[in-house]
Structure 1
Amino acid sequence: MHRKCPECGGKILGRSDKKFCSDYCRNAFNNKLNKDSKNLIRNTNNYLRKNYRILERLNPKDKTKTTKSRLISEGFDFQHFTSIYTTKTGTMYYFVYDQGYLPLENEFYALVKRTS
C-alpha cells in the first residue's frame, strides 16, 4: 500500500509515520491551514501589534504619562486592546497584553506595564 502526500498527492517514501513527501509540501500544507482566512483576524492582530509597540516605546520605564495627541500622532488605535482591568475603586485600565493605559483628566494617559 502506497501512502499519498496530502498536499501534492505524490508517493511518500521513508518512515512509516511520515505524512508528507517533502519539506516543501509540509510547509505549503501548514501555511494554507494556518493562513488567516479572514481579513478581520489579520487586521485586528496588526492593530494590536502596532498598539503594543507604541505603548512599549512610549513607556520604557514601566510607568509614565503621555497625552492623547501623542498616542494618536504615533498611530495608536483606542478601539483595539486585549483586556480591561477594573480596580476596586472602579478605575479602568486598558491593556494590550502586558502594556496598559489609564485615561486621566485633560486628555492625559498613564502608561503602565503589568508585572506577573
Structure 2
Amino acid sequence: MRIHKMCLYCNTELTGRTDKKFCDPQCKSAYQYQQRKEQPENFYNRVDNQLKRNRKILKEYNKGGKVTVRAKILNALGFNPKFITHYWKNGKGDTYLFVYEYGFLKKKEHHIEKYVLIKWQEYME
C-alpha cells in the first residue's frame, strides 16, 4: 500500500524524496510565513519592541535636556507610557518614569495632557 504525501501548503501530491514536505520553495516560504503570522508574538519581543520604540520617540523629542511635549503627539507616534525600565522621584515628590536614560513626567496644563521629558543625570543615582 502506497501512502501519498501532500504539500503542507497547497495540498499538491508530492513526488521525489520520501521526506519531502513541500512541492517547491515558494510553497515552503508561504507556509512558513503563514505559520509565523498565526502565532501570537512572543511576549518578550512585544515588550522589547515597545521599549525600543518609546526610547526612540523620547530621544527624538528631547534634544534640549528638559522639554515639554503634548501627550497626543508622542502617543500618535506609538509611545506607550506603560512600558518603562525604572523610575526616579525628585525632591518635590514627582515621579519620573524612565525608558533607559530618557524620562518623562505626565502632567495636565489647562486640560491638556503633556509630558515633561528629561534625561537621566548622575545626581539621580
Give the structure-2-normalised TM-score: 0.59
The answer to whether 1:86 aligns with 2:89 is yes
* Structure 2: tracts of 5 or more residues without a match: 1-40
Partner of 1:95: 98
Where do 4+ consecutive residues of structure 1 move more than 2 Å?
none
User: Runs of 5+ in structure 1 lacking a partner?
Assistant: 1-37
Aligned residues: 79
Q: Indicate the structure (1 or 2) with the bigger Cα radius of gyration.
A: 2
Query: Quick one: distance in 2 between partners of 1:96 and 1:60?
Result: 16
TM-score normalized by the length of structure 1 = 0.63
> In the alignment, which residue of structure 1 is the partner of 2:53?
50
- Map of 2:17 onto structure 1: none
Deviation at 1:90, TM superposition (A): 1.8
- Mapped pair 1:113 → 2:119: yes
RMSD: 1.4
Identical counterparts, % of pairs: 29
Shift, 1:115, TM fit: 2.2
Residue of structure 1 in register with 2:24 after alignment: none
Q: 1:61 aligns with which of 61, 64, 88?
A: 64
**For 1:104, what is the secondary structure of its paired residue?**
strand
Q: SS at 2:64's partner residue?
A: coil
